[in-house]
Amino acid sequence: MRIGIEAQRIFRANKHGMDYVDLQEILHLQVTDHENEYFVFVKPGPDCCVKSSSNVHVIELNMPSYPLWEQVALPRAAHQYKLDLLHCTSNTAPIFCKVPLVLTLHDIIFLEPRDKKNRSLYQNMGWLYRRLVVPRILKKCHRIITVSQFEKQNIVNRLSLPDERVTMIYNGYNYWFREIEDINEVYRKYIPKRGYIFFLGNTDPKKNTERTLVAYARYLEKSKKKRALLMADLDKEYLDDIIGRNRIEHIRKHLFMPGYIPNTDLPYIYNGAFAFLYTSLRESFGIPLLEAMACGTPVITSNTSSMPEIGGKDAILVNPEDSDEIAAKLLQLEDNDAFWAEQHTMGPKRAKLFSWDATAQNLLQLYNEVGRQLN
Report the mean per-residue pLDDT for the chain: 94
Name 251's Cβ contacts closer than 8 Å, sequence gap at least 6.
213, 216, 217, 220, 229, 243
Over residues 305-326, mean pLDDT: 97
CA-closest candidate to residue 176, choices 275, 295, 278, 272: 295
pLDDT interval class at 16 (50, 70, 90): confident
Does residue 264 share a domain with residue 147?
no
Query: At 159, which amino acid appears?
Result: L
Which residues span the domain enclosing 340? 186-351
The arithmetic mean of pLDDT across residues 329-357, rounded, is 97
Domain contains 251: yes
pLDDT level of residue 117 (50, 70, 90 thresholds): low
Average pLDDT over residues 293-300: 98
Please report whether residue 177 resides in a domain. no
pLDDT of residue 41: 98
DSSP classification of residue 71: I
Q: Are residues 199 and 83 in the same domain?
A: no
How far are the Cα atoms of 27, 48, 63, 163, 261 from residue 44, in angstroms, in the given order? 18, 8, 9, 37, 22
- Which pLDDT value is given to residue 114? 66
Q: How many structural domains are present in the chain? A: 2
Q: Based on the domain organization, do 161 and 198 belong to the same domain?
A: no
Q: Is residue 325 part of a domain?
A: yes
In 3D, which of 6, 95, 94 has the Cα closest to residue 42? 6
CA distance 208 to 299: 16
pLDDT band at 375 (very low <50, low <70, confident <90, very high): confident
In the structure, what pLDDT confidence band is assigned to residue 120 with cuts at 50, 70 and 90?
Answer: low
User: Over the stretch 135-182, which tens digit does the pLDDT of each residue have?
Assistant: 999 999 999 999 999 999 999 999 999 999 999 999 999 999 999 988
Is residue 121 very low, low, confident or very high in pLDDT (cuts 50, 70, 90)?
low
Asked whether residue 10 is domain-assigned, the answer is: yes
Q: Which of 60-69, 162-171, 182-191 has the lowest mean pLDDT?
A: 182-191
What pLDDT, on a 0 to 100 scale, did the predictor assign at position 110? 85
Q: Looking at the structure, do residues 216 and 342 belong to the same domain, yes or no?
A: yes
CA atoms of 4 and 30, how far apart (whole Å): 13
Three-state SS for 261-311 is CCCCCHHHHHHHEEEEEECCCCCCCCHHHHHHHHCCCCEEEECCCCHHHHH
- Please list the alpha-helical segments (H only) found in 104-262: 121-137, 149-159, 209-222, 236-246
The residues, any chain, with a CB within 8 Å of residue 24's CB and separated by 6 or more, are 172, 174, 356, 359
Whether the pLDDT of residue 126 is over 90: the answer is no
129-143 per-residue burial string, b: 16 or more CB within 10 A, e: under 16: bbeebbeebbebbbb
Q: What is the pLDDT of residue 119?
A: 60
Whether 190 and 160 map to the same domain: the answer is no
CA 133 to the chain's CA centroid: 21
Is residue 223 situated within a structural domain?
Answer: yes
Which region among 66-80, 217-231, 250-264, 326-340 has the lowest average model confidence (pLDDT)? 250-264
Regarding whether 208 and 120 lie in a shared domain, the answer is no
Handedness of CA 78, 84, 88, 94 (dihedral sign): positive
Based on the fold, state whether residues 164 and 191 are members of the same structural domain. Answer: no
- The verdict on 154 and 246 lying in the same domain is no
Lowest mean pLDDT among 41-50, 117-126, 238-247, 297-306: 117-126
Burial class (CB in 10 A: 0-12, 13-18, 19+), 347: buried
Of 27-41, 224-238, 285-299, 331-345, least confident by mean pLDDT is: 224-238
How many helices (H) and strands (E) would you count in the chain? 13, 13
Mean pLDDT of 38-63: 97
Q: What pLDDT sits at residue 236?
A: 84
Give the model's pLDDT for residue 10: 96
228 within a domain of the structure (yes/no): yes
Residue 118 maps to a domain: yes
> pLDDT tens, 199-241?
988 888 889 999 999 999 999 999 999 999 999 878 888 899 9
What is the pLDDT at residue 305?
Answer: 96
What's the pLDDT score for residue 259? 87
What does DSSP say about strands 273-278 and 196-199: parallel, antiparallel, or unpaired? parallel
pLDDT at 203: 81
299 with 163, same domain: the answer is no
Please tell me the distance from the alpha carbon of residue 100 to that of residue 78, in angstroms, as a whole number: 10
* pLDDT over 90 (residue 115): no
Answer with the residue of higher pLDDT: 127 or 149: 149
Q: Counting beta carbons within 10 angstroms of the beta carbon of residue 58, is it exposed (0 to 12), middle (13 to 18) or buried (19 or more)?
A: buried
Average pLDDT, integer, range 21-38: 96
Q: Are residues 341 and 359 in the same domain?
A: no
Three-state DSSP at 96 gives coil
Q: Does the pLDDT value for residue 122 go beyond 70?
A: no
pLDDT band at 14 (very low <50, low <70, confident <90, very high): confident
Mean pLDDT for 316-343 is: 98
- Are residue 25 and residue 136 in the same domain, yes or no? yes
Asked if residue 178 is part of any domain, the answer here is no
16: CB partners within 8 A, 6+ apart: none
Q: What is the CATH number of the domain that holds 286?
A: 3.40.50.2000
Burial (CB count <10 Å: 0-12, 13-18, 19+), residue 54: exposed
Gap between the Cα atoms of 287 and 171, Å rounded? 7
Q: How far is residue 94's CA from residue 75's CA, in Å, rounded to a whole number?
A: 6
Residues 281 and 144 in one domain: no
Crossing angle between the packed helical segments 337-351 and 323-335, to the nearest 10 degrees: 100
Cα distance between residue 114 and residue 61, in whole Å: 32
Asked whether the CA dihedral 228, 234, 235, 239 is positive or negative, the reply is negative
